[in-house]
Amino acid sequence: MVRRTLSMSAAIVFATFYSTIGKADDGIVVHEQSAFELFEGREESRISPAPNQEDAAVAPTEKDYSIQTSSISTRRMFNNAGVAGGLADEDIPLCLDIKAPPARLQTQSKYRSDDFSKSAIDGEALATRDKTVQPIRDSIRLLTNVAYAQSSSSAVMQARADCVLRNLDRWATEKSLTDMRSTDAYLTRDRWISEIALALNYVSKRVELTSERKELYSTWLGAIARDTIDAYSLRLGPKSKTNNHRYWAGLSVAAVGFVVDDQDLKQWGKASFEIGACQVDDRGFLPAELARGERALEYHVYALRPLAAILKLAVDNGEPIQPKCLGGYERLTAQTRDSLKDTTAFEQVAGLRQTTNIRESSYSDALKLSELKVF
């Protein structure tokens, strides 16, 4: 796990600073920037591996592998002087009242409707979509940053866990993300529920869930998980049932399954892993993700992440799985790792120069590739 350390004094300093900024009814406001920016104010390093690049000599200090336009994104904050800056990890507060995501959501795809590969983004559609989904991303990132922040003080660690649970109690009561009104909303929710359920799984190892909380989360997250299964079984198209969307759905359902101890949900997560791993060809490619054209490599990284997380989730909870096609997963991991260093293989197979504008920092600690140990 990527570790963060927080001292009690730093938390108090942050709380003092935070209280001078102000709080609106719809969340904490920092000079018209979202509260999320308080946690992710660092410059992002990026990679764009491609042969014969003129600026290839300028090496980034850290490789980032998450897809920028579909992730829980990172933004910067501005301090009172108007100078860009960010709070250090140790200054993450002990707790915040985090705005609950809405119960109902209807969004449309950010991709151009005339692009079969779904690799070309429609700028207007993206802007419209972001107005709706960015506040949700912000809330989830606030939650996961509190959940995974580390301290040498057991009291601080327990306070953080309690904070996460109190926020999730409210989200559950408000039925956050239970009513998806479009295909894009369903597909988008999978990533968010994965983040939420993994954070809940993590903090519940520090603070035992009461029977009341177990029932509350089972009602809320269990309903979402079953709705996800129904959507992929009955309503979503054939591509989504077999490509990266299904793997993220599998992770979200499996993570909920471990929280509420539901074997059927865990099994659906395992089956989702197998759907992905069994598609990997002899060279280590996923055919569905190769169809993404110039973003094929990006989407191999994006597809690999939930597959790796499903395996790790099971191991961490003492229930390692023995899925079919584990060799396919291993080939996918090796090919993706090697191609991030040299994109030639992907460019030959996909037939297009690969565009990789990707960031690792848009994922919570539990989903970072360094934590998943795939590379």
- For residue 287, what are its two tokens? 């055919």
Specify which residues 193 forms β-bridges with: none
In terms of DSSP bridges, do strands 104-105 and 179-180 run parallel, antiparallel, or are they unpaired? parallel
pLDDT at 119: 67
> Which residues, 6+ apart, have CB-to-CB distance to 274 below 8 Å?
323, 324, 325
Supply the pLDDT for residue 132.
96
User: Residue 29: its pLDDT value, please?
Assistant: 30
**pLDDT tens for residues 283-306?**
999 999 999 999 999 999 999 999
Contact predicate 285/351, CB 8 Å: no
Cβ count near 152 (within 10 Å): 10
Contacts of 87 (CB under 8 A, 6+ apart): 14, 38, 39, 41, 77
Alpha helices, DSSP H, located in the chain: 8-19, 123-148, 154-173, 183-203, 211-230, 244-260, 263-277, 287-290, 296-316, 326-341, 344-350, 369-372
69-104 confidence digits (pLDDT tens): 333 433 333 232 222 233 455 678 889 999 999 999
pLDDT for residue 44: 33
Phi/psi at 67 (5° precision): -80, 120
Specify the pLDDT at position 92.
83
Q: What single letter denotes the amino acid at residue 195? A: E
Beta-bridge mates of residue 29: 34
What is the pLDDT confidence band of residue 118, given thresholds at 50, 70 and 90? Answer: low
Q: What is the pLDDT of residue 355?
A: 87
Nearest Cα to Cα of residue 367 among 199, 217, 200, 246:
199
Task: Evaluate whether 272 touches 251 at the Cβ level (below 8 Å).
Answer: yes
CB neighbours of residue 287 within 10 Å? 12
Beta-bridge partners for 330: none
For domain 8-372, give the fold. Answer: Glycosyltransferase (1.50.10)
Going by C-alpha positions, the residue among 332, 221, 328, 297 that lies closest to residue 49 is: 297
In whole angstroms, what is the distance from residue 366 CA to residue 2 CA? 8
Convert the pLDDT of each residue in 12-33 to its tens digit: 333 333 333 333 333 323 222 3
What is the average pLDDT across 323-327?
A: 97
Amino acid type, 80: N
pLDDT higher than 60, residue 325: yes
Structure tokens at 269: 């997560």
Half-sphere exposure of 333 (CA within 13 A, CB side): 18
The pLDDT score that the predictor gives to residue 88 is 53
Rg from Cα positions in the chain = 20
pLDDT at 89: 55
pLDDT tens digits, one per residue of 180-229: 999 999 999 999 999 999 999 999 999 999 999 999 999 999 999 999 99
Supply the pLDDT for residue 78.
Answer: 27
Supply the mean pLDDT for the chain: 81
- Model confidence band, residue 257 (pLDDT cutoffs 50, 70, 90): very high
| CA–CA distance, 249 with 184 (Å, rounded to integer) | 13
CB 366 within 8 A of CB 309: yes
Q: What is the pLDDT of residues 333-361, one digit of tens each?
A: 999 999 999 999 999 999 999 988 778 88
First to last CA, the chain: 14
10 Å Cβ neighbour count for 45? 14
User: Percent of the chain beyond pLDDT 90?
Assistant: 67
For residues 258 and 152, which has the higher predicted lDDT (pLDDT)?
A: 258
Domain ranges of the chain: 8-372
In the predicted structure, residue 50 carries a pLDDT above the cut 80:
no
What are the phi and psi torsion angles at 358 (to 5°)? -130, 150
* pLDDT > 70: percent of the chain: 75
Whether residue 46 is predicted with pLDDT greater than 70 in this model: the reply is: no
